[in-house]
């Protein structure tokens, strides 16, 4: 009997289809499908979209665990006052609270952003040695710019651009050690210093909390800014951090994102076009509201 592989995602109803795609890509690239347990930290999801996501169980026999955050007092308390935006809804902060929201018996989890595509057996990543650290991640390819911002000196006093800095889209977490760190208290300290508005959302917070306490993992397990040239490098996980996403209307035609045609078929054609219509409706509703 093999141990389960615990994978965490966080999303709201506007990202149900990409979240499904991440999970389906994991399932398609491993023989250990029935060992997979997906822990879903989510804001309210419609019944139709939940049925779509539950297709992972019907097709592969993997397990889903749902964690609704809309009524979570802890989530509301921690997120209150943290900056959000159109590209960064409240749900992005859910990963800060993984240790509090997930069952106490879990000792290791893999967190994945919903704008990813997995191309290699996930157990290869899940079993990696963390070198005694609470967290393993990939160094961000835009490290000095993200840390320093404008002219790479805007955030001097918060970060040193010579330090290591990880991308939080993929994190392999030792929850036993994570729980020994009072993340909520550390965020409160950051807020008390008046830094919150200067930070790059939760990624900066995580880098401050885990400074010098994370293990650098191979880049191919979080191939940031995934574009066409990356197809030649055999990436294990593609991370679509660019504004152009593989689910865009002309993504397959323009091939601006790596494996964009592959991505569409992992999402499935039916869901891909339904998600595209969903996004168009949201775009037009936003335009109409602005026009009033």
Our CA angle for 26, 174, 210, nearest 5°, is: 110
User: How does pLDDT run across 152-201, given as a tens digit for each residue?
Assistant: 888 888 888 888 999 999 999 999 999 999 888 898 888 888 887 788 77
d(C-alpha 236, C-alpha 217), whole Å: 12
Higher pLDDT, 39 or 233: 39
- Tally of domains within the chain: 1
Give the model's pLDDT for residue 289. 64
Give the model's pLDDT for residue 283. 64
User: How does pLDDT run across 84-143, given as a tens digit for each residue?
Assistant: 776 678 898 999 999 999 999 999 999 999 999 999 999 999 999 999 999 999 999 888
d(C-alpha 263, C-alpha 25), whole Å: 9
d(C-alpha 141, C-alpha 109), whole Å: 24
Give the model's pLDDT for residue 179. 95
Neighbouring residues of 126: CB distance < 8 A, sequence distance ≥ 6:
5, 108, 110, 172
Q: Which CATH number goes with the domain that contains 212?
A: 3.90.550.10
Give the model's pLDDT for residue 147. 87
H-type helices in 127-259, by residue range? 143-148, 175-179, 183-192, 201-209, 251-254
pTM recorded for the entire structure: 0.93
Indicate the range of 195-204, 250-259, 271-280 predicted with least confidence.
250-259
* Three-state DSSP class for residue 24: helix
Neighbours of 89 (CB within 10 A): 14
Q: What percent of the chain has pLDDT over 70?
A: 93
Neighbouring residues of 161: CB distance < 8 A, sequence distance ≥ 6:
143, 144, 147, 148, 152
pLDDT band at 254 (very low <50, low <70, confident <90, very high): low
- Closest of 213, 64, 51, 55 to residue 131, by C-alpha: 213
DSSP code of residue 245? -
Provide the residue range defining the domain that includes 121: 5-291
Neighbours of 102 (CB within 10 A): 20
Q: How does the average pLDDT of the chain come out, rounded?
A: 90
Indicate the range of 14-18, 26-30, 46-50, 179-183 predicted with least confidence.
179-183
């Amino acid at each position: 009997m093999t141990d389960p592989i615990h994978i965490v995602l966080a999303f709201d109803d506007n990202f149900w289809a990409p979240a499904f795609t991440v999970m389906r890509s994991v399932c398609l690239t491993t023989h250990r499908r029935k060992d997979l347990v997906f822990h879903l930290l989510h804001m309210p999801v419609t019944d139709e979209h939940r049925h779509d996501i539950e297709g992972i169980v019907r097709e592969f026999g993997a397990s889903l665990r749902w964690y609704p955050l809309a009524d979570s007092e802890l989530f509301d308390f921690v997120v209150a006052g943290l900056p959000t935006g159109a590209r960064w809804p409240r749900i992005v902060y859910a990963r800060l609270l993984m240790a509090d929201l997930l069952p106490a018996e879990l000792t290791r989890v893999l967190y994945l952003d919903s704008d990813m595509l997995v191309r290699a057996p996930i157990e290869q990543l899940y079993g990696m040695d963390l070198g005694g650290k609470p967290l393993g991640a990939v160094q961000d390819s835009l490290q000095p710019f993200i840390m320093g911002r404008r002219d790479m000196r805007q955030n001097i006093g918060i970060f040193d651009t010579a330090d290591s800095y990880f991308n939080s889209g993929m994190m392999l977490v030792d929850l036993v050690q994570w729980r020994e760190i009072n993340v909520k208290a550390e965020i409160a300290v950051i807020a008390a210093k008046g830094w919150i508005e200067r930070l790059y959302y939760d990624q900066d917070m995580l880098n401050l909390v885990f400074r010098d306490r994370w293990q650098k993992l191979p880049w191919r397990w979080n191939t940031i800014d995934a574009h066409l040239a990356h197809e030649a490098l055999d990436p294990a996980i593609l991370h679509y951090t660019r504004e152009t996403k593989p689910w865009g209307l002309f993504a397959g035609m323009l091939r601006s994102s790596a494996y964009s045609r592959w991505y569409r078929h992992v999402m499935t054609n039916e869901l891909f076009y339904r998600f595209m219509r969903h996004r168009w409706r949201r775009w037009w509703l936003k335009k109409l509201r602005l026009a009033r």
